[in-house]
Amino acid sequence: FERGTDPHGTVAAVNRLAFLIREWAGGKVCLGVMDCHPAPEGERSLSFRLDRVRKFLGVDIPDGEIVGTLDRLGLAPSAMADGRWAITVPGFRRDLSREEDVIEEVARIYGYDRIPVTLPVGRTVPVKASPLSRQQGTAREILEGMGFSEAITYTFVSREEQEELGFGGGPEPVTLLNPISDDMTVMRKSLLPGLFEALRVNMNKRISNVRLYETGRIFLPSPGGDLPEERHFLAGVISGARSEKTWYRREEAGDFFDIKGAVQGLLEGMRIPDVIFESEEKPFLQGGQGARVLSGGEPLGVLGTISPAVREKYRVREWAGCFELDLEKLVGAVRPAAFHPLPQFPSVLRDLAVLVPGEIAASRIEGVILEAGRDLERVRLFDIYEGKGIQEGMKSLAFSLEYRNPARTLTDEEVDRNLEEIVAALGREFGARLR
């Protein structure tokens, strides 16, 4: 019954059955037929255009040949007042439901071998990618350039696993009515559970140096609506050594700064401005080695070293780190690309070492330096020291400052004067003093 069954064929089938019962079983046939169909199908008809047949097939078939072909097929073509033609569709022709089906009948009888091969003619319309799609592509290029490989994980996870990693709480997650397994009962609220599981699979296969990333949707329950809020996130994991042992160097173990450096490089490549990192505590991150990522005061995500408990759960023996960023917020934070001419005048370098309270983050010191600096092109932290010779509760931060004016050469006096202003600003803000 590929083409369906003919509802009008029921009477013929019943008549045949009645004949056989009378012929072989001595039955008596009653007169007439009772039809109890709740919605009997009337006579069906289709309209078509002769010019449309020729244009669609690309062959100049005469009118008489088209009409004659359909007539021989028992479709009884007849001309209509508006220039169209109509056919009566037999009940057994369930495959005829539109004008294109009539054209196919003509082509079948006319002969496909008689229809010339021609290239299709059309105009291509350029499709402009959305900002989200473009940023996804940019993120892929940057991360793969850093040695990451893309992973695609299930959007279904275990409820218990999400809660253990700290993604529970709040509204109930979206629960599947017919989950494919007990480990995939709810929709994910983070990409990290899937990446942690991918990390475990690699570890089981004795692949310890792993760099994976994923970009995809998460599903956040919406208390006031039937459907969850779907957001695009970007996440990644790193495990193992920073560099393997070779004849010219020793193996270097990975640490927190590997995952932080990867995120910094990613955000710089995506042109996200004013990125700062603040301390953050998460159940899946090791205490004191987690950070919240912000741009212009807007939180973008988190990064850090995976906690020992999570590493043990997923059988990760080496150091491992992870990050997760809100891709939609990244799209909104992108700074347009701008051209900067090559510098024509030399730079002036200065080193600045200050003593500050130990709880002050270096990024806050750097922010004040940039705010107070004039013609300050770059600030780089190159040393942190705590211990002998430093007052307890204090630390020494050493910065390299590079000055440059695009229109002229700076003098030492100008640079030294600004350096004094920077030291004064740090003293007012943090009680800092020169070391």
pLDDT in tens, 185-221: 899 999 999 999 999 999 999 998 999 999 999 998 8
With a cut of 90, say whether residue 140 has pLDDT above it: yes
Q: What percent of the chain has pLDDT over 90?
A: 57
**What's the pLDDT at 152?**
94
Position 183 confidence tier, pLDDT thresholds 50, 70, 90:
confident
**What's the pLDDT at 309?**
92
Position 388 confidence tier, pLDDT thresholds 50, 70, 90:
confident
**Pairwise pLDDT comparison (120 vs 303), residue with the higher score:** 303
Rounded CA separation 306/295 (Å): 23
Q: What percent of the chain has pLDDT over 70?
A: 99
Q: In what order do the strands lie in the sheet with 394-403?
A: 376-385, 394-403, 348-357, 433-434
| 410-419 LR contacts (CB < 8 Å, sep 24+) | 410/345, 410/348, 410/375, 412/348, 414/375, 415/348, 415/350, 418/372, 418/373, 418/374, 418/375, 418/376, 419/350, 419/352
**What's the pLDDT at 252?**
85
**What's the pLDDT at 384?**
92
Mean pLDDT, residues 385-396 taken together: 88
Mean pLDDT, residues 88-98 taken together: 88
Lowest mean pLDDT among 115-129, 300-314, 404-418: 115-129
* SS3 at position 209: coil
Position 100 confidence tier, pLDDT thresholds 50, 70, 90:
very high
- Per-residue 3-state assignment (H helix, E strand, C coil) for 266-293: HHHHCCCCCEEEEECCCCCEEEEEEEEE
Q: Are 44 and 89 in contact (CB under 8 A)?
A: yes
Q: What is the mean pLDDT of the chain?
A: 90
Per mean pLDDT, which of 126-135, 143-152, 239-248 is the most reliable? 143-152
pLDDT in tens, 316-342: 988 999 999 999 999 988 888 888 888
pLDDT in tens, 162-178: 888 888 777 788 888 88
Query: Which structure tokens are listed for 201?
Result: 């699979």
DSSP character for 175?
B
Single-letter amino acid code for the residue at 266 = L
pLDDT in tens, 29-56: 998 888 888 888 888 899 999 999 999 9
With a cut of 90, say whether residue 234 has pLDDT above it: yes
**What's the pLDDT at 19?**
94
pLDDT in tens, 5-35: 888 888 889 999 999 999 999 999 998 888 8
Rounded CA separation 76/88 (Å): 6
**What's the pLDDT at 4?**
78
**What's the pLDDT at 225?**
67
- DSSP assignment string, 355-423: EEETTS-HHHHHHHHHHH-SSEEEEEEEEEE-STTS-TTEEEEEEEEEE--SSSPPPHHHHHHHHHHHH
Neighbouring C-beta atoms of residue 109, cutoff 10 Å:
14
Mean pLDDT, residues 125-153 taken together: 92
Where do runs of H (alpha helix) occur along 30-83?
50-57, 63-72
With a cut of 90, say whether residue 229 has pLDDT above it: no
pTM over 0.85? The answer is: no
**Pairwise pLDDT comparison (254 vs 120), residue with the higher score:** 254
Contacts of 151 (CB under 8 A, 6+ apart): 194, 195, 198, 212, 213, 214
